[in-house]
A = this chain, B = another copy of it.
Amino acid sequence: MFIRNCWYVIAWDHEVPADGLFTRTVIGDPVLLFRRADGTIVALEDRCCHRHAPLSRGRKEGECVRCGYHGLKFDARGACIEAPGLDTLPAKARVRTYPVAVKNKWVFVWMGNPALAGTESLPDNFSCDHQDWNYLPGYLHYGTNYLLIADNLLDFSHLSYVHEKTLGGSTAIAQARPTIEKVPYGIRVTRRVPNVPPPGYYRRMGSFDGNLDRWFIYDFLLPGTLLMHSGGRPTGDAPGDMSRAVRLHSCQTLTPETESTTHYFFQQSHLVAQGDASIAQIIYDALVVAFHEDREMITAQARNIALDPQAPMVPLAMDAALAQFRRLVTEAIAAERTTAEATQATDPAPA
């Protein structure tokens, strides 16, 4: 079960070719992307209505796609406009289209009722496309359900252990108590960690003799997006003095592929003023190492859960954010189901 009435990131903008076909499965639906002549992106169900072959194995013809199995041709609205040897086409000969939004290099698809696809719920991933910020884009595939990864991102106490030698570097991160607030579409987690050593790559972005006060302030938004301001500044610097601070912004998002697999898009931006392109590479490399640490742990956790899916977990205070987020997901799915049932119940009966 997934939320459908929401935007999922399906690709980085650069992944969709100028003149070709791109496919990725989102919440169990195979989705085809291609570009119109003006560069805007079309999203169609990547499953020919005829015999369910993936349209992505066919070819792009202008602003249409032709199925590579039996040659049906679909336009950008999903209508079948040609089938070899047929003079007329049944009205049902069409594939589903999905609303698309592109915002700051992220390509989103709306998997639910198109009438509800407002752009106000798009996340503010500004640092993915901003002159003051620089980053390298990342993608990782997971062999687990996305909620286990959301859990991970919603409890940064794991930085002290999973990433002890990479992003973390201090048990103080785990000991710090975050505050959690409700924000539109999700929750905000604020974790301040005073007086800790800087992680390795910080040293490339500033000259630090001693400890830093670090902060991690992020929104975690439905369906699974993390937007984070983080950084550190020398412990003891005057309040409000950011002159020696390292500042970072990170945009990460989870898109379920199936119940047991997940797409993970990520970046962590640094201020252009604080480092050249080599810094972006260093940060990217550090993230890749760290996110593989996460994936190994979460995959092992998933194996343990599969051994005994009914075994209870013991909730702890550090689970507050993940528990709240899981509740938001559950409520959103339940609300969609209620709406769907209400809609069916009030449909006028056929005369």
Contact = CB atoms under 8 A, between A and B. Distances in A.
A308 to B, nearest CB: 7
A307 interface: yes
B84 A157 contact: yes
Of the four ranges (under 10, 10 to 19, 20 to 34, 35 or more), the interface on chain A belongs to 35 or more
Interface string A38-76: 000000001101111110011000000011111110000
A273 interface: no
A318 B54 contact: no
Interface in A290-312: 296-297, 300-301, 303-305, 307-308, 311
Contact of A176 (B85, B162, B319): B85
A70 B158 contact: yes
A25 interface: yes
Contacts of A155: 70
A121 interface: no
A149 to B, nearest CB: 12
A72 B158 CA distance: 10
Chain B CB within 10 Å — which of A258, A301, A311 has the most?
Answer: A301
A211 interface: no
A311 B47 contact: yes
Contact of A313 (B51, B157, B296): B51
Given A52-B301, A307-B25, A58 B151 contact: no
A57 B115 CA distance: 47
A177 B87 CA distance: 11
How many copies of this kind of chain does the complex include? 3
Nearest to A68: B161
B58 A161 contact: yes
Contacts of A86: 316-318
A102 interface: no
Contacts of A340: none
Contacts of A51: 151, 301, 313, 319
A272 interface: no
A47 B312 CA distance: 11
A70 B168 CA distance: 12
Interface of A: 25, 28-30, 46-47, 49-54, 57-58, 66-72, 83-86, 90, 92-93, 151, 155, 157-158, 160-162, 171, 174-177, 258, 296-297, 300-301, 303-305, 307-308, 311, 313-314, 316-319
* 10 closest residue pairs by CB, A with B: A84-B174, A49-B314, A53-B301, A71-B161, A52-B304, A85-B175, A47-B304, A70-B157, A92-B314, A54-B300
